[in-house]
Chains A and B, each alone.
Chain A
Amino acid sequence: MLLAGRDASAASSTKSGAADVGILNVALGLEHQGINAYTLGAQSGLLQKPVLDIALKFQADHKVHRDLLIGAIGKLGGKAVEEKSLDMYAKALNASQLKTQADVLKLALSLELGATNAYLSVVPSFKDHALAQVAARLAADEVAHWAILNNALGLPLPAAMLFGA
């Protein structure tokens, strides 16, 4: 799968390609967690329609991100980091503490904020500028998720320059 409509340029040197693969794998790990977090939310039985439908849509977006990142890592000759078990994510996210729909949404909100900030933070780190642009686009998806979840929870609008700080 091509990135941003064009082939991500091959690394100008092995070292920079390896560095970009490292960052991409951190991002992929983040997407694996997001996908599984939404699985945990959906399986909890706490989400009611239409919130459940929105959660599944966001999960589908993360799967698009996952597949894009796996493709990019492969193009650079790297090995994509593997997803962990659902139980591991449940433990990491303290899923047993989720008791209400709002609990699930707040967890998703935190994860989407973390993902947004993570992507924005790594944009300058990529040696390949095409990958940096992809990271920015991924951040845009995450913040769109965040905004909808924030609204669903009835929380205040964010301050300016909140993201990536």
Chain B
Amino acid sequence: MKASFLLVPLAAFLNTSLVHAAGDAENGRLQYMSRCIACHSIDVSLAGPAHRGVFGAKAGSVAGFDYSPALRKSKVIWNERTLDQWLRNPEQFIPGQKMGYSVSDAKNREDLIAYLKTQTRR
């Protein structure tokens, strides 16, 4: 029996899973504009630190930003898992933080993370 008949549904499954896992960066940008820009920007630290290059960076590492002691001491590296946990409940993830803002919807978090991933260092 040829296994090729499995390839189309398998590919469809993988494609769906990858799209879901990857998140929608454009919706993430819209989420960023409606949720984040009051305190953050990509290239300038404001009430919150700048986000360029955040994916893969160590927490509390943007030069010149006045982090809480909790963030400065944290050894967290921002990736999909840690950003998801942080955005879901910052105080639970890193107690003593001062952001306080959370994103309750899992899809919105996923899309935000997908957008942040695109904001790489120049």
Contact = CB atoms under 8 A, between A and B. Distances in A.
Interface stretch (B4-12, B19-27, B101-109): B101-109
Interface residues of A, number: 30
Interface of B: 33-39, 41, 43-44, 46-48, 66, 68, 91, 96, 98-102, 104-105
Contacts of B35: 113-114, 117
Interface in A10-40: 19, 22-23, 25-30, 32-34
B37 A111 contact: yes
Interface centre among B41, B66, B101 (most CB of A within 10 A): B101
Contacts of A121: 100-102
B85 to A, nearest CB: 16
A92 B48 CA distance: 12
Contact of A115 (B38, B48, B102, B105): B38
B39 A29 contact: yes
Given A117-B101, A125-B100, A88 B44 contact: yes
B101 A122 contact: yes
A93 B37 contact: yes
Contacts, number: 81
B91 A125 contact: yes
A6 interface: no
B68 A92 contact: no
Given A93-B41, A114-B39, A26 B34 contact: no
B70 to A, nearest CB: 10
Given A23-B98, A111-B37, A165 B104 contact: yes
A50 to B, nearest CB: 25
A84 B43 CA distance: 14
Interface in A115-165: 115, 117-118, 121-122, 125, 165
